[in-house]
Structure 1
Amino acid sequence: KVAKKLKILKKNIVKIKKNQTQDCRESRQALPEGCKVNASNHQKLIPVKEFLLFHLPSRYQHVEMWNLIQSLVDITVKLEVSGMSEERKKFKTNKQSLEMVLNQTQVKGVSKNVDDESNSSNTMSVFAANDVAFGSGKVDDVFIRTDRDGPCPCPKQCPECGEIRVFTSAQLMYDDDDAKHFLCTFFYDDDEQVDQLKYARGDRIVLRDLEKDLCMFICVTCDVELIRKLEGMLDKFEQSWEDAFDRYAGSLKWRNERLTVIVSHPYGLKKHIALGKTSEVGDSERGIHYDTPTCEGSVGAYVLIPDFDVKDEV
């Protein structure tokens, strides 16, 4: 009787997984068609609300890794700019792509020409339609400003306002004036809850490195509650990293799995999660190449490398 019950249970589990996979495929049909380079990637992008433990490699199917990815989802940002200025057109035609790795506090990257590898799955590019460009980013830090720190930059002149530092790609913006045209959208996880979205306007660039294709910029808001909410989410991300470290350090060699995780807003739509692997890191260059699928609008997305081996230099 026990064996029979186990057999029925296994069949039900397989059925559930099959249905969940089918649901994910149906939801991904909403991604735009006609993208010849990235068409196959659409089936590999999983909406964040449908991401399940079984999507992860078996050795990472633990609540600690799940929480780490979900905490990254929380602080992933959609970036949008209207109008394609002449300067951005010039920069965009350079066809530089980013192979960027953010490993907790380390930042490493390699710039290359798309023409050299036009079909590469790890090429992220800016998506522009009707003179609107989309990208992705990650909240890096938040600050609350008062009158003592200077006047509020918004027209409301609030006595208290907030600044949000966002990490993205240098492909998206080139100077402070350009940064002011960007709109940051937070918490766009689900099309059913768009009333819960929050917004902030770009203000200035604090770091832009063309060689590594890295950019940190500030966006401002009078919504202090948004700042406090993001602050809690950043704390959660840090704690989730520590929990995952405790779980995997010493028991799982990242170089044996080479897992990479990307959370982004493909085509400016709701957040999706993509899983992939990195190739070997060369001795001469500290850049990392990965096969994690991306689409238009994924430029600037944070690339999570769950390497908890303290001996690694990745």
Structure 2
Amino acid sequence: MTDTRDQSYPPLPVPLVVGVYDNHTHVNYADGEYALSVAEQLDRASSVGIRGIVQVGTDVASSRWAAEQAAHEPRMLAAVAIHPNDAPELDAAGTLDDALAEIASLATKPRVAAVGETGLDYFRTPEEGRAAQQRSFEAHIEIAKANNLALQIHDRDAHAAVISTLLRVGAPKRTVFHCFSGDAEMARICAKNGWHMSFSGTVTFKNAVPLREALSIAPRNLILVETDAPYLTPTPFRGRPNAPYLLPYTLRAMAEHLETDVTVLAAQISSNTEYVYGRWDAEPVTVQPSPLTSPSGPEGGLA
């Protein structure tokens, strides 16, 4: 089937006066008519006030690449994990435990700041695969707690099960619902438990009224912002390739909805992000990153 969408990258936004961090992105995934290199993505992001990114792994290869890349790139921290949609397949092949052991090893590396994205996805995973997904999620939670790292949660059509798991096994001190997709009631639950809510370009979509209601409820000290690039490009460029440099469009839409100055919101979110992941200005080490053999993301995106 021919992809008829506009595959050109949107224009640069007006630079932010106060910078923020993109706390969930995948700069390794190629998209667009002319895919941007990692350096191009980071340079564009820096030019509009993006202070740094969290590069998120979804399997052993991309997690290893994220850790190695972050080790020598001062604008990047890494998150490492097995994506929940991959857990059932790995379990069926008898390799899930080996993959989890590799993630546990990567979690000890310098500038790995989070375990993620992990969680539950009942949209793509049928009933028979959910036990493996649950086992993987709980293993990731333990890895995060053992290493005092943040946890980045992928939660799709599984709100109740994710919340139940966190309450039952104990959430890490710094827990983030990546691409938050809940409503106001879920925002209240997150607030009660001190869990962070990370808003992506979806908060700008016309039909995302419940999501904006959740944003209104969320305490300002628990709000983060992300792109989940190359997916979820904010309005008015929905459907076109996404990248960290487009984060200001989402941030400005959030500030408008909250009826606050964008510089005030940026300062709060920047502080929140450093609380969750630490500071980006720790001295990088000299490591030559491995080539990533599969630059394309899973069909249909990760969010």
Coarse TM-score class (shorter-chain normalised): under 0.3
**TM-score of the two chains, using structure 1 as the length reference:** 0.22
Which is richer in helix? 2
Considering fraction of residues, name the structure with more strand: 1
Higher Cα Rg, which structure:
1
Please give the TM-score of this superposition, normalised by the length of structure 2: 0.22
